[in-house]
Amino acid sequence: MFFKYFNSLSGIYDNFLESHILKSDLYSIYIDNNNKGYFAIYEDRLLTQFYVDISAMKYAQSIFKDILEQYHVKGAFVPTCDELLLSLSLDFHKKVNMQAYFFEENKNLMYEIKPPMYNRNLLRVATEIDTPAIKEQSDNFFDTFQYSSLQNKIYILEKNDEILGFGIIEDCNIFTEYKATGMFTVAKYRQKGVGRSIILHLRDICHENGFKPLTGCWYHNYNSKNTLESCGYISNTRLLNVEF
């Protein structure tokens, strides 16, 4: 059933939404003893997936309504590439909050991408020795940082022994041909080409290892959005935080 859901999507989403999906409780939908779909709820309150087979689509709206009522669901993370979840969430919404942009590469650019300001040789893989500096200078970008879980995934852009910013490349468990990338620039080096350089280098690393890069940013983080677009990324998909 998951593969039918996957094939119904018109776009991609990154590991922020993916992590919520993977941590959700899954429930099957049966009609006349036949499995016709499933849904997922994160921490007893947030709907992260809803799928009904096309053969049972006439029941989708009433099933969705029953789930909201019986499971006391208060909201949903809705990627706009999921047409069914988007439509049903709008049917019952009280409020729609813009949560994030999801970006992937544009292979048909009408302009030339400027090269990174900081060369690739300034970017290195973080080691365990870097743990204190990462915790101190990344402003909780890596959440509850544990080096063991992020080993060989974090990169440091450094010049003259000064850390300028951090990058990360993580696996995607749903869109497996992609790698999720992200960056954080140390405050005093922002708007100086650091974040853009990191994103471009992470993109190249993904390509070198046979993966497509994807990335995202908070909807109201205009600087990050501009940076990603200047690197040749486009966003066809938004993440909505829908309240019921």
Whichever domain contains 181, its CATH number is 3.40.630.30
Helices (H) and strands (E) in the chain, counts: 8, 11
CATH for 49: 3.40.630.80
- Domain boundary (93, 122, 147) is at 93
Q: Which range marks the domain in which residue 155 is found? A: 104-235
Q: Cβ distance 1 to 35 under 8 Å?
A: yes
DSSP string, 202-233: HHHHHHHTT-EEEEEEETT-HHHHHHHHHTTE
| Cα separation values, 229 from 12, 91, 226, Å | 17, 32, 5
Residue 180 lies in a domain: yes
- Give CA–CA dist 18/216, Å, rounded: 12
Residue 244 lies in a domain: no
Residue 241 lies in a domain: no
The total number of structural domains in the chain stands at 2
72 and 116 in one domain? no
Query: Computed from CA positions of residues 186, 162, 212, 21, in that sequence, does the dihedral angle turn out positive or negative?
Result: negative
110 and 213 in one domain? yes
- Domain boundary (93, 122, 151) is at 93
- Give CA–CA dist 150/140, Å, rounded: 14
Residue 243 lies in a domain: no
Q: Cβ distance 153 to 170 under 8 Å?
A: yes
50 and 11 in one domain? yes
- Give CA–CA dist 194/29, Å, rounded: 48
What confidence score (pLDDT) does residue 130 get? 87
144 and 70 in one domain? no
Query: From first to last of its 244 residues, what are the pLDDT tens digits of the chain?
Result: 888 999 999 999 999 999 999 999 999 999 999 999 999 999 999 999 999 999 999 999 999 999 999 999 999 999 999 999 999 999 999 999 999 999 999 988 777 899 999 999 999 999 888 888 888 888 877 765 555 566 778 999 999 999 999 999 999 999 999 999 999 999 999 999 999 999 999 999 999 999 999 999 999 999 999 999 999 999 999 999 999 9
Residue type, 124: R
| Cα separation values, 19 from 16, 32, 48, 173, Å | 5, 32, 10, 9
Eight-class DSSP state of 183? E
What confidence score (pLDDT) does residue 134 get? 86
The bridge status of strand 123-125 relative to strand 154-159 is antiparallel
- Give CA–CA dist 26/28, Å, rounded: 7
What confidence score (pLDDT) does residue 23 get? 96
Other Cβ atoms less than 10 A from the Cβ of 16: the count is 17
- Domain boundary (46, 72, 93) is at 93
